[in-house]
Chains A and B, each alone.
Chain A
Amino acid sequence: MPDQTDAKYATEPYLRHIMLDFRQMTEFVKEPFLVARADGIRFWDVHGKEYLDGLAGIFAVNVGYGNPRVLEAVRKQLETLPFNPPMHGTNPRAVELATLLAEIAPGDLSTARLVDSGSEANEATFKLVRQYHRQTGNPGKYKILSRYLSYHGATGNAMSAGGVGYRKTLYEPTSVGFFHTYPPYCYRCPYEKTYPDCQVFCARTLRTTIEWEDPRSIAALIVEPISNTGGIVTPPMEYLKVLRQLCDEYNILLVFDEIITGFGRTGSLFAANTFDVVPDILCCGKGMSSGYAPLAAALIREPIAQAFWGAPGREFAHGHTYAGNPVSCAAGLASIREIVERRLPENARRVGAYLVQKLEALRPLGIIGDIRGKGLMIGIELVEDPATKKPFAPEVKLGLRIGKQALANGLLIRYDPHWIAFGPPLIVTTEDIDQMVAILEQSIREVLRKL
């Protein structure tokens, strides 16, 4: 059992001192949620209540909680070397990690720029792509093309690239040179077309956007292969291939934000493998260290990294105190080895297929419009009428209600006003899925009764 004295921190006098992510504290203090302890795919709150983690924290804890190999690696590294002077050099674990990443990453993504978070990985990338073009004779390439409904992080340029809601609009105007196009949201196609008749118009029409914005001014196109924040927006298989062709044609660097999709989440080690497209830069984080220490990276194709070798001044002018720190790297090495050696991507594919099957069985509840995603990243769009795709009125916020009810019933999932999603640790079994879906079903029934 957790230390019961921690329960006191779940009270307003203490919570007055903290500001949480995306949480209205006025509401939070009424129903505080403080996790005290975790093991495997379960965690317990400060009152001792048990939960199933259907979201791996936030698509992060891919190897599950309490993994002995990762724990041991971190403990050993803390004893050996907790930190090194980052501006003067690095440490063996960082180089070892970069070498491992080069080995397992698709294509010639063979250089890692290690950082501490997904936002930082994307932020570094936006600087890196501009510098790359400057150093290869295309100094005019500065614009970053991204998509509405995307999320690329919380910091300045990462937020500018993001394409949804109050996470961004509260802080506008954003940086200059970021512009947006429509995502491959097939269930409600922004172009009012139907796959496959559309021949992925959303990807093909990017040519016009590129031409009209001037290809000589565009540095990079960044996409999440499957995007979470918009509701597990999952493209048709050929979508990313079309983007790859267009980027090649116009010398635009293709960046995959794989912070969520990386390290087995979609049923392959990377979504790049799942969709069989190699980006120029692949940003990853979360599952990389399974959340045991803050760790992320931008993986860079060999010819691009090459442009940063040479005379002084050509190096990447970028740094963070904790980037590539030995403890995070040790956690990353252990987490990645667990994922690879225990074939967790394969498990994600197998158990993910089972999850989809179980969710399909919930369609008779009459509120499931669409089930989408890959591997263990599966979203459900909730609608009032599945036949016509008619959404619920905005004030219904069914997804929020279901998500909160599920949490009350001991299951953590991702929830938004009109969709919910699963992203459990990749070690889940079909039995775990049975349990999770049973709680979800019960929660939906409870919410619908109150509707």
Chain B
Amino acid sequence: MPDFIERGDGKPHVIYPRTSAAQMRNGITVLTSGDGMRVTDDTGKEYLDFVSGWTRPVHVGYRRAEIAQAVHDQIMQLHYYTPMQYGNPRAIELAQVLAELTPTGITQFLFVSSGSEALESALKLARHYHYYRGERWRFKVISRRGAFHGVTGGALRVLGSVLPVRHLSEPLAPGGVFAESPYCYRCPLHLSYPACDLACARDVERLIQFEDPAQIGVFVGETIQQGFGAVAPPPEYWPIIRQLCDRYGILLVVDEVICGFGRTGKWFGVEHFDLAPDMLLMAKGISSGYMPMGALGATEAVMAPVDNFANLQTYMNHPVACAAALANIEILKRERLIDNARVMGDYFLDGLKLLTCYEAVGEVRGIGLWAVLDLTTDRSTRALFPADRLERMVQRAKEKGLIIKFMHCALEFAPSLVVTRGDIDLALRIIDECLAEDARAH
């Protein structure tokens, strides 16, 4: 066991992403096993995981024998062949399953290895679509300040959160344009819903005009945005964006890397908004992290003009990843985990709402099993909440055996879809304690 300790006293050979030198010196928690909702570190300490693996993929929980079996079987049958001009049964099956599950119109699928790759493929497919239709100058992409769509080249260009990640890599390829986010609690336009009449959405039209409608290929957005802490827009938001995209021939790419596969209490987030995207980005919950996996879904209309999608990566349509995804989706269906996400989500949100007794809790919001406490130092001005206090609370929760995280000013929770009332009660008690400690200290 001690062999695995990355305590900062030795010289680790692993590169840890987005982990500072100071964090390295404090030591890295080395996790050695997981089961259901819980993970265990190398000292034997057990944690209730309320962020589904932190980046939130683990929808079906840890240690699922049936996914392991499906992966094993597929490796023994055929573990790899090129996705170019060759097919495999698992990819074909998975595409059929997804065609049933995904929102109206999304019927064509490409399987990749991450959400970033799904985004890259979507941006490229959009270029192909416009190119074959004789509109090759549609190179600009409208994203939103606060957006997260991955960390590769094209994704960086539309990255509107965790900004140092973008800033470090600049200058980037041209064409990234940013609109404001529908983050109502701290409206970037200093307006109030509903009096604002959705200025943030309507303003996208002005942006399109300024940037030249003929040069804009894509509007990309997360159905529910992670950057400011699980922000669901008002119901009118997406219909306005959809209308603008239609009016100007812009493809609407919806990023459901987090929302997809039940996180919000429905199979896909767009079902809450009756939104029909042109492309759908998936990852995380598609395989619950058992295999690295992402996917791009597109409508027939998007694929129709494309003669040859010139975008090949070695591990596209990977048979083993597709087998893992099929087994994962089978569990989500059989155990009715999407229903559980809705029921447990409501129960959890009710519990979180009781925490508004703490002065620091500015807003409680959530949808399904994705919830946040948006914190503030001043409820009247909704002033930002200091990161060091958020970090402290997250740290204290971890010491108490609960893993949570924070985004912007919000404490965030996204447990696996197998979560029980008992898990939620325990988590609420620890969150309550952390808020109380913070309140006492300030």
Contact = CB atoms under 8 A, between A and B. Distances in A.
B126 to A, nearest CB: 16
Interface residues of A, number: 23
A174 B214 contact: no
Most B CB atoms within 10 A — which of A163, A175, A177, A192? A192
Interface string B155-196: 000001001101100111111001000000000111100000
Contacts of B191: 192
Contact of A169 (B178, B206, B214): B214
Nearest to A192: B199
A229 B160 CA distance: 30
A174 B166 CA distance: 20
Given A212-B163, A217-B170, A172 B206 contact: no
A180 interface: yes
Contacts of B199: 191-192
A177 B171 contact: yes
Contacts of A173: 139, 174-175
A176 B170 CA distance: 9
Most B CB atoms within 10 A — which of A164, A175, A212? A212
A165 to B, nearest CB: 8
A82 interface: no
A241 interface: no
B350 interface: no
Interface in A394-409: none
B206 A176 contact: no
Contact of B210 (A163, A172, A176, A177): A163
A250 interface: no
A208 interface: yes
Interface string A341-381: 00000000000000000000000000000000000000000
B386 to A, nearest CB: 16
A139 to B, nearest CB: 13
B108 interface: no
Interface in A118-177: 142-143, 148, 163-164, 169, 172-177
Contacts of B56: none
A328 B215 CA distance: 40
B59 interface: no
Contacts of B174: 173-176
Interface in B198-253: 199, 203, 206, 210-212, 214-215
Interface residues of B, number: 27
A391 to B, nearest CB: 13
A177 B139 CA distance: 16
B175 A190 contact: no
Q: Is the interface of B mostly helix, strand, loop or mixed?
A: loop
Given A173-B174, A177-B171, A190 B206 contact: yes
B295 to A, nearest CB: 30
Nearest to B139: A173
A385 interface: no
A172 B137 CA distance: 8
B145 interface: yes
A201 interface: yes
B203 A190 contact: yes
A180 to B, nearest CB: 7
A176 B171 contact: yes
Contacts of A192: 189, 191, 199
A142 B199 CA distance: 31
B127 to A, nearest CB: 13
A172 B214 CA distance: 11
Contact of A148 (B171, B210, B214): B210
B167 A217 contact: yes
A417 to B, nearest CB: 14
A142 B171 contact: yes
Most B CB atoms within 10 A — which of A143, A175, A214, A216? A214
A324 B174 CA distance: 35
Nearest to A142: B171
B212 to A, nearest CB: 4
A175 B214 CA distance: 18
Nearest to A211: B163
Given A192-B199, A214-B167, A172 B212 contact: yes
Contacts of A169: 211-212, 214-215
17 contacts: A142-B171, A143-B170, A148-B210, A169-B214, A169-B215, A172-B137, A173-B175, A175-B174, A177-B170, A177-B171, A191-B189, A192-B191, A212-B163, A214-B164, A214-B166, A216-B167, A217-B167
Interface of A: 142-143, 148, 163-164, 169, 172-177, 180, 190-192, 201, 205, 208, 212, 214, 216-217
Instruction: List 9 A-B pairs, minimum CB-CB distance, nearest first.
Output: A169-B212, A214-B167, A176-B171, A173-B174, A148-B210, A176-B174, A177-B171, A212-B145, A192-B199
Given A208-B145, A214-B170, 20 more contacts: A143-B170, A164-B210, A169-B211, A169-B214, A169-B215, A172-B137, A172-B139, A172-B212, A175-B174, A176-B174, A177-B171, A180-B210, A190-B203, A191-B190, A201-B190, A205-B188, A212-B163, A214-B163, A214-B164, A214-B167
